[in-house]
Every structure is written in C-alpha cells, then in structure tokens.
C-alpha cells in the first residue's frame, strides 16, 4: 500500500521503493547493522521476520520436494503464507480452506 514503510537490507533494487510512494528504511548488513530504531515513531526496523519466513519456506520445500518449477512457485508460496498466518488456529484453518471452495 502506498505510504507504507518497508524495511529491507541494502540491496540496490529496494532503493526504488521511495519513487513508488513507499517509505523505505534499509538496514546495512554489510556494515553489521541488523536493526534501526526510529525514536520518532517508536519503531524498530529490521529484516528478521522476512529472513526467518524465507528460511522456513525453503526448508519446507526441500523437506518435501526434490525441486519445484518456477511455474508453480507462487502456489507453494501462497500455501506456505496461508499456513504461517493461521498457524495458531489449525481447526479454523481447515474450515477456511473448505469455505474457499
């Protein structure tokens, strides 16, 4: 959503986010910076959650499949995201899946 704050590492392509209407905060892993505290908004900016998410996603794929095609990657990612977002409500997760069809 435009105006949202996006916290990333210093990869150059993320610097383009400002031009798209986002507030961009980059932690500099190369300089051993893992988090930035913004006292004005009382917000800690870091990439820990997304890095953890990707690590778990990759582990789930490698633990289940030999490989997956790029064509189906989005489907696997959508399923993993759904499961991660509803991990505390296993019974409701099933009900939501059934209701979607």
Given a contact cutoff of 8 angstroms between Cβ atoms, the answer to whether 76 and 91 are in contact is no
Predicted pLDDT at 78: 93
Query: How large is the average pLDDT for residues 46-54?
Result: 92
Q: pLDDT > 90: what percent of the chain?
A: 54
pLDDT (average), residues 29-36: 92
pLDDT, averaged across the chain: 90
**Extents of the domains making up the chain:** 5-46, 50-99
Phi (first) and psi of residue 6, to 5 degrees: -115, 125
- Using DSSP bridges, classify how beta strands 5-8 and 23-26 pair: parallel, antiparallel or unpaired: parallel
Strand partners, 92: none
Helices (H) and strands (E) in the chain, counts: 3, 4
């Amino acid at each position: 959503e435009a105006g949202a704050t996006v916290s990333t590492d210093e990869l150059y392509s993320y610097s383009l986010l400002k031009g798209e209407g986002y507030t961009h905060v980059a932690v500099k892993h190369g300089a051993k910076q893992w988090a930035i505290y913004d006292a004005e908004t009382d917000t800690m900016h870091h990439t820990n959650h997304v890095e953890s998410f990707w690590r778990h996603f990759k582990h789930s794929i490698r633990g289940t499949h030999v490989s997956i095609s790029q064509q189906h990657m989005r489907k696997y990612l959508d399923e993993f995201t759904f499961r991660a977002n509803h991990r505390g409500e296993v019974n409701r997760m099933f009900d939501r899946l059934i209701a979607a069809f």
